[in-house]
Amino acid sequence: MNRAIIALILFQSIFFIGCHQSDRGILNKTVKTLNSLDRIEYKASRTLDDVIIKTKDTVICYFDFESNDTLVGAKYQFATQRYEEIYNGKNGFSVNREHGLILFSNQPTKESLANSMFMINSLHRFKELLPAFLKDTSASIARQKDTLINGENNYNFAISFKNPPLIGELFRRQKLISACNLLISQKNLLPIQITYTFAGEPGSLKTDFLETNLKATRPDSIWNLEGYPEEYSRKTYKEWEEASKTRISGQVGEKAPDWKLPLMSGDSVRLSDFKNNLVLLEFWFPYCSGCVESIPHLNEIQEIYSKKGLKIYGIEYTKFKGNGIAEYIEKHDIKYPILHSGKLVMNWYGIQLAPTFFLIDKKGTIVYTSKGFDKKELVKAIKNNI
C-alpha cells in the first residue's frame, strides 16, 4: 500500500474520530448548560401515543435549582389551566382547581416525586438521563442533519439503546425506552424537543420545550398551602387513596363513603357526623327537570320527617364554589340544606344522572337508592328506617 493511500486512510480516520468527539462534545456541553442553570421556566407541549392512551397537553414547568433539597435537587411547579403540582423542597402537594381539592404529603419520597406525571419528560429529568446516555458504551449516538425550526438551526441526534434505560413511570407502569431523538438549540445548547420511543411495546412520548425563560421567578405564596383558597378541601394522598377504595356501585346494602362538603351558608358538613340520624342525599344540578319537579316534595318531606330525625341534603355537583346556586335556591324556594362542590363525591357514589337519591341509615349503610324521584317509594323507605 503506497504512502498516499495510507495518508488518506489516516486522514479519514482522524476526521471521523474528530466528528464523533465533536458530536459528543455538543451533548456534553448541553449537560454542562443544564447543570449550570439556577432556574428555568418553559412551556412543555407533550404528545403521548401509548397502548393505553393517546393525548396531547401543555404544561408550564418551573424549576428552582438553588433549593437545598436533597430529594430531587430542586423546587418545582407544574401548572395547567386546572391543575398544579408543587414541591417546595420539603412538602409536596397538588391543586385541582376544578374540584377545589388539595392533596398533600409532608413526607414525600424521592420515588413519588420522580414519578410525577410531568417529571418524566421534564428538562430536569433529562439533565439526569443525558449523562447516563453518554456513559452507556452500548448506546449508539448518531448526529443527524441539522433541523431548522422557526428560522433557527438545531442540532439533531438519534440515540438508540441495546440496554433500554428507565425514564420513569406512566399510568403505574414503568417505561423503558429503546430510542431517543433529540433536538438541541444551537443558540443556547438547551433541548427544544425530545422524543422517547418506548421499548417492548408500541408508543412514544414527544415533548416540545417552548418559551424558555431563565430569569423567571415565583412568589413565595405558591410554595405554601396557605396561599390557596380556604374553601379548597385538603386531604393527604393517603386519605385520598383510602377514599378512592370506598367508591361504590350505588346499591342497597353498601357502606356509604364518608365525605365533607361546604354548605351554601358557609359551614361544612361531614356525613359521619350524623350517626344518630337517617340521612337522605339528593345529587342534583340546576335546571335538571327531574330535580326541579322534586323540590316541593322534598320540602314537604323535610317539614314532616326532620322532626323525627331525618336529615336531607342536596348535593350540587356541577358548579364549583357554588357560583349562581344561591340565586337558584331562592328562585325555586328550596328549604332543605344545599351542599356544593360535590363532583368528587358524585364520583365516589357512582352517580350517572340526576336526580339520584340515597337513603342512609344510622350505621352508614345505604337502605334505599333511586335514579329519578319516586315519592311513594321514598316515603315508604323513610318510614321503614326512621
pLDDT in tens, the chain (386 residues): 555 444 444 444 433 433 444 889 999 999 999 999 999 999 999 999 887 778 889 999 999 999 888 888 999 999 998 899 999 999 999 998 877 789 999 999 888 888 888 998 999 999 999 999 999 999 999 999 999 998 899 999 999 999 999 888 876 678 899 999 999 999 999 999 999 999 988 899 999 999 999 999 999 999 998 888 877 778 888 887 776 666 667 789 999 989 999 999 888 999 999 988 999 999 999 888 899 999 999 999 999 999 999 999 999 988 776 778 999 999 999 999 999 988 888 888 988 889 999 999 999 999 999 999 999 999 999 999 98
Distance CA 215, CA 197 (A): 32
Judge contact between 282 and 351, C-beta under 8 A: no
pLDDT at 170: 76
pLDDT at 301: 97
Q: Which of 384, 386, 40 minimizes the C-alpha distance to 209? A: 40
Residue 97, Cβ neighbours under 10 Å: how many?
18
Superfamily of domain 248-385: Glutaredoxin (3.40.30.10)
Q: Which of 323, 315, 311 minimizes the C-alpha distance to 346? A: 315
pLDDT at 97: 81
Distance CA 5, CA 39 (A): 53
Domain ranges in the chain?
A: 22-223, 248-385
**Which CATH class for the 22-223 domain?**
mainly beta
Judge contact between 30 and 130, C-beta under 8 A: yes
User: How many CA within 13 A on the CB side of residue 116?
Assistant: 26
User: How many CA within 13 A on the CB side of residue 354?
Assistant: 23
